[in-house]
Amino acid sequence: MLNIINAGIDARAGPLEHKLQSFAPLQTADLEAVRACHDDLRTTPAGMDVAPPGAGPDVVRLVVSGWAARARVLRDGRRQLVQIFLPGDLIGLRLLPGSSVIALTPVRTADAAPLATALKARNGAHARLRVAWERLEALRQQQLLDHLVRLGRLSAYERTANLILDLMDRHRRAGLSDGTRMPWPLTQEMVADVLGLSIVHVNRTLQQLRREELIVLRAGQLIVPDRVRLAQAACWEPAH
Amino acid sequence: MLNIINAGIDARAGPLEHKLQSFAPLQTADLEAVRACHDDLRTTPAGMDVAPPGAGPDVVRLVVSGWAARARVLRDGRRQLVQIFLPGDLIGLRLLPGSSVIALTPVRTADAAPLATALKARNGAHARLRVAWERLEALRQQQLLDHLVRLGRLSAYERTANLILDLMDRHRRAGLSDGTRMPWPLTQEMVADVLGLSIVHVNRTLQQLRREELIVLRAGQLIVPDRVRLAQAACWEPAH
DNA sequence: CGTATAATTGAGGGATATCAAAACCGGTGG
DNA sequence: CCACCGGTTTTGATATCCCTCAATTATACG
């Protein structure tokens, strides 16, 4: 409530705002609804669970900064990260059973309720917002299917390159990258758990990508010097 | 329009109806909306694309009988079936780019528009229907994540057993099985494309499951003699 | 400086893919 | 009834990818 004004403090557009705008131009009322999502701001330290202590089933949280992931852990300890959340992504905490959302880095999240209520508005308000939202949801579904193909049909080498391009594109759409560089806070263990590989093999695969200069990894930043070549290695399908 | 009455001809409850009822008891108005989905009934022969010729982006079709799957095909011919549709499932044909929905067997589908409009009703009508629908959607999401874990972290043996249990449970929830037997129309090539394995390896894995009498495969029917043992082999997490 | 975490390297084995051929099976036509 | 046919299943042999185990080095952090 208090911070429609405060929200303006941040010079650059928020990543969620940027993503939505890339699908459909928003109106001022829409923008206000998005920017109002700064309530109940909380920081989750790396490795911890993002769900608030007494989280209801229908909570939706907006990632303001940092990375998180939805994790499924098997009884014998095997772990699969099924989805990565970047700044500007929304985390629906409803479908809990069996999976949890953990912070990969320190993560700041906010209550996304204002956005949710705007989307549920009965009157015709927020039409543009709703369109952009729909497209964004469709894209999210696509990304899940992309991940399925990655795990099912790509080699370790292709998988790794593919994931990098995926994350890069998402950063760009959120206005957080120009498409050639982005932050890279993931340990090789995290990458392994995303890609369904062993740590050791991830290490060797990343080395190969660096040796071939498809990626440069330095100081927590990842650089893609030649997107075309990386896309080839990644078995990347442009389209969506 | 014409067939609220005709719908009653079918003695048993439709599979979609059965699934919804398993989540929340429906009211007569809800049931009518579900049963009204018998318009534009069309049959797709095995191997063909399920999307109607000039399909708009927002078409939703209900599977009345037969199996279908959403497929992604890479340029080099590798194929991944990312989602299997059984009778009672709804196929959203909107997020087309890159993926198509193909019939694994001859498939009869109907236009699900009546259901869609009922769910969009402004007034308070169809409250129960909406609840059941939400739960069903949550389950569908879960199944996608299950599939991700299957591909990412399970061995070929576990994957296969796991898929069988998944399909069995879905049949049961749709009122199409008692949980011990179900139709099995899949060729080993299809199984391979679902599980991200080679045909040859699927063959050997199925042989092993049969040798150990975890499954019996005969005359297009699959029987699970001992669910508990199969669940163990499948690394199955009960919960959801 | 010392400790913990992460990255790297090497050796060896197991799981799964690939290639090629043979057996099986339901349908079709002579 | 038989021969044939395409598609499916099965089998064997071999190659490769990726995993596991174990140890070493680098990096971050107090």
As to burial, measured by CB atoms within 10 angstroms (0-12 exposed, 13-18 middle, 19+ buried), residue A220 is exposed
Which protein residue lies nearest to nucleotide C6, measured between its Cα and the C1' atom? A187
Residue with tokens 């890339």: A22
pLDDT of chain A along its 240 residues, tens only? 444 444 434 446 799 999 999 988 888 877 888 888 887 899 999 999 998 666 666 788 999 999 999 999 999 999 999 999 999 999 987 766 788 999 999 999 999 988 888 888 777 778 888 889 999 999 999 999 999 999 999 999 999 999 999 999 999 999 999 999 999 999 999 999 999 999 999 999 999 999 999 999 998 999 999 999 999 999 998 766
Q: How far is B226 from chain A (nearest CA, A)?
A: 21
Closest nt to residue A189, judged CA to C1'? C6
Q: State how far the Cα of B132 lies from the Cα of A152, in Å rounded to an integer.
A: 31
Q: Give the CA-to-C1' distance from A69 to C26 in angstroms.
A: 50
Is residue B37 very low, low, confident or very high in pLDDT (cuts 50, 70, 90)?
Answer: confident
Q: From CA A144, how far away is CA A150, in angstroms rounded?
A: 10
Q: Report yes or no: B94 at the A interface, CB cutoff 8 Å.
A: yes
- Look at residues B171, B174, B173, B200 and name the one whose alpha carbon lies nearest to residue B188: B200
Token pair of A222 as six digits: 């990842």
For A80, which of B141, B149, B240 is closest by C-beta distance? Answer: B149
Say what the pLDDT of residue A52 is.
67
- Position A7 scores a pLDDT of 40
Report the Cα A201 to chain-centroid distance in Å: 24
Tokens of A122: 């009965």
pLDDT of residue A121: 75
Model pLDDT, residue A53: 66
Q: Is the Cβ–Cβ distance between A234 and A158 less than 8 Å?
A: yes
Query: What local confidence, expressed as pLDDT, does residue B97 receive?
Result: 75
Residue bearing tokens 């018998």: B38
Q: Which pLDDT score is estimated for A188? A: 98
CA-based nearest residue to A132, from A218, A19, A3, A31: A19
Contacts of A235 in chain B (CB under 8 A): 74-76
Span CA (B91) to C1' (D24), Å: 54
Write out chain A residues lying below 8 Å of B153, CB-based.
74, 78-80, 196
Intra-chain end-to-end CA distance of chain B, in Å = 36
Which residues 189 to 208 of A reach strand D, CB within 7 A? 196-198, 200-201
Q: B60-109: per-residue pLDDT in tens? A: 999 999 999 999 999 999 999 999 999 999 998 776 678 899 999 999 99
Judge contact between B180 and B227, C-beta under 8 A: yes
Q: Does residue A12 belong to the interface with chain B, where contact is any CB pair within 8 Å?
A: no
Render pLDDT for B169-211 as a digit per residue (tens, 0 to 9): 999 999 999 999 999 999 999 999 999 999 999 999 999 999 9
